[in-house]
Structures are given as C-alpha cells and as structure tokens.
C-alpha cells in the first residue's frame, strides 16, 4: 500500500516537473520567435538591408523562427504529426547552427583575408546548409540518434575555435577592429546556449536515472533562447537601428520624436554629417 502510494507520488511529481520544463521551454522559444521574427520583418520591410551579409542573418533568423515555432506548437497527439513536428524542429535547429558557420566564414574571408568575392558563395551556402541539415535529419530517422548530440557539439566547438583564434589577429582598419569586437559575441552565444545542456548530458551519462531538476530547467531555457541571442548579436547592428530610426523619423509625430533619445541622437548625427559635407564642399 505504502509502495503504491510512493509510486503514485513519484509519477505525480514527474508530471509536474514535465509541465514546468514544458512551460520554460515554450517561454524561451516564444522569446526566440519574437526576436527572429523581428529580424525577418526588418529584412522584408527595409530594402536597404538586403545586402549579402544581412541575407545570411535573415536565413539564420528564418531557421531560428521555424525552430522556435515548432517547439512552441508542442507534440501533436497523432503519431505521424508528432514525428513530423519533432523532426521539423530538429531540421531547422541544425540549419540555424550551419548558418552561423556561413556568417563566420564570410566575416573571416572579408575581414581577415580582405576578399570581396563572398557573394559568389551564396548558392554554395544554401546547398551546404540545407543539404547537411537534410542529411542530418535522414541519419536521425534511420536510427543514428546517438550521434545527434555529438554532431551538434562538434559544430559548436568548431565555430567557437574559429571565432576565438581569429580574434587574436590585429588590424589597423577601424572597421576591421569593430568587426573583430563583434566576434566576441559568437562563442558567448554558443557557450551560453549549450553549456548547461552539455553539463546536463554529462551528468545523465555519469548518473543515469538521477536527474537534477534545476539543471534541466537551465538546459531547456538557455537552449530555447538561442534564437533570441542570435537576433540580438547578429541582427541589431547599426544598419538595422539606422533603418528603424529613419522610419520613425519619417512617420512619428513630432511630440513623440522628442521623447525618444535614440531618435534625437540619430537626427543630430545626420545634421553633423550634413554640416561636414557642406564644409568640405565649400573648401573645395
């Protein structure tokens, strides 16, 4: 009698823990969905952002957006739709990782090697990302589930190694220094997103059947926030902020403009640039 009561209590606690983890994962995915959707919306609305470098950020955001969307949808009751849902989320999550490697390659080639031919790699990038994501998906379907986490961590480690090693290279060009400073965010995103997941996997391997609940919460929460981290680090650059400020300056009433310090700074910067152009023109 006591044993059955203890078993029922354990099952009830496991269900409550599962509900908490689902809520944390859904909340994190919702934030990532909002961040990645914002980047996608900016790309579609602002034509001046449709440069090759931001196209890579756009496809990264699209992958994060669908990964977060399928995570929020949850597992359908129908077995087939549950299967399709889980593997769709997996496909876009892997694609998100692969798009970060294309951004790393583009930055390395333009900033370090000073090459200007990166746009020629556009079709190759698509073949590389979607092809590898599909290959990983097919390998998962045929039964190589144990390799998924290993493949993911290898991709992460490779990405971090490239970013950290190239930061040691110095450049005399101001734009290069600024780009290198932004490289520091990329390994931090991967570490922040997957550190707790890695610790959780190691703990589960060393102590099977003895899960740490708070570690599982950090695992699910930070992994789900990767889309939000990507949208902040990759998408909220000066070009995006400038495009948004221009639209706000164009459509907002004057009384609202004065209450936005960012917009005020943007207008003063524009006036300073215009003044310098007039001075240069008069000197010539």
Q: Per the domain annotation, does 184 fall within a domain? A: yes
Number of independent structural domains in the chain: 1
pLDDT in tens, 24-82: 888 999 999 999 999 999 899 888 888 888 899 899 999 999 989 988 886 555 565 66
CB 34 within 8 A of CB 236: no
The dihedral through the CA atoms of 3, 6, 12, 18 has a sign that is: negative
Q: Of 150, 151, 222, which is closest to residue 190 (Cα–Cα)?
A: 222
Q: Tell whether 220 is covered by a domain.
A: yes
Tell me how far apart the alpha carbons of residues 19 and 209 are, in angstroms, rounded to a whole number: 19
Q: Find out whether 25 and 18 touch, Cβ atoms under 8 Å.
A: no
Does residue 230 contact residue 60 with C-beta atoms inside 8 Å? yes
SS (H, E, C) 12-79: HHHHHHHHHHHHHHHHHHHHHHHHHHHHHHHHHHCHHHCCHHHHHHHHHHHHHHHHHHHHHHCCCCCH
Q: Is residue 272 part of a domain?
A: no
170 burial via Cβ count (<10 Å: 0-12, 13-18, 19+): exposed
In a domain, 65, yes or no: yes
Q: State pLDDT tens for residues 187-234.
A: 677 777 778 888 888 888 888 878 888 888 888 888 888 888 888 877
For the whole model, what pTM was predicted? 0.72
Is residue 103 in a domain?
yes
Residue 185 has pLDDT above 70, yes or no: no
Average pLDDT over residues 159-182: 46
The rounded distance, in Å, linking the Cα atoms of 96 and 228 is 12
Assigned domain for 218 exists: yes
Note whether residue 252 is domain-resident. no
* Mean of the per-residue pLDDT values of the chain: 73
Do the Cβ atoms of 129 and 100 come closer than 8 Å? no
Could you tell me the CATH number of the domain that includes residue 100? Answer: 1.20.1070.10
State the residue range of the domain holding 33.
18-236
Q: Is residue 241 a part of any domain in this protein? A: no
């Amino acid at each position: 009698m006591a044993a059955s009561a203890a078993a029922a209590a354990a099952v009830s606690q496991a269900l409550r823990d599962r509900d908490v983890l689902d809520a944390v994962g859904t909340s994190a995915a919702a934030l990532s969905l909002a961040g990645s959707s914002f980047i996608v919306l900016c790309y579609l609305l602002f034509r001046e952002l449709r440069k090759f470098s931001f196209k890579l950020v756009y496809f990264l955001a699209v992958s994060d957006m669908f990964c977060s969307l399928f995570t929020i949808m949850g597992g359908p009751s129908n077995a087939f739709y549950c299967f399709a849902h889980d593997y769709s989320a997996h496909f876009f999550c892997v694609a998100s990782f692969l798009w970060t490697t294309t951004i790393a390659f583009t930055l390395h080639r333009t900033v370090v090697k000073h090459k200007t031919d990166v746009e020629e790699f556009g079709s190759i990038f698509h073949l590389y990302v979607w092809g590898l994501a599909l290959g990983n998906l097919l390998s998962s379907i045929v039964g190589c589930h144990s390799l998924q986490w290993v493949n993911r961590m290898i991709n992460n480690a490779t990405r971090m190694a490239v970013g950290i090693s190239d930061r040691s290279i110095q450049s005399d060009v101001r734009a290069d220094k600024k780009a290198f400073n932004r490289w520091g965010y990329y390994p931090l995103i991967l570490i922040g997103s997957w550190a707790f997941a890695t610790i959780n996997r190691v703990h589960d391997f060393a102590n099977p059947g003895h899960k740490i609940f708070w570690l599982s919460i950090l695992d699910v929460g930070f992994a789900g926030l990767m889309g939000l981290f990507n949208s902040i680090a990759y998408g909220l650059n000066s070009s995006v902020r400038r495009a948004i400020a221009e639209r706000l300056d164009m459509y907002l009433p004057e009384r609202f403009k004065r209450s936005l310090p960012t917009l005020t700074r943007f207008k003063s910067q524009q006036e300073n640039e215009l003044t310098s152009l007039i001075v240069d023109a008069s000197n010539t």
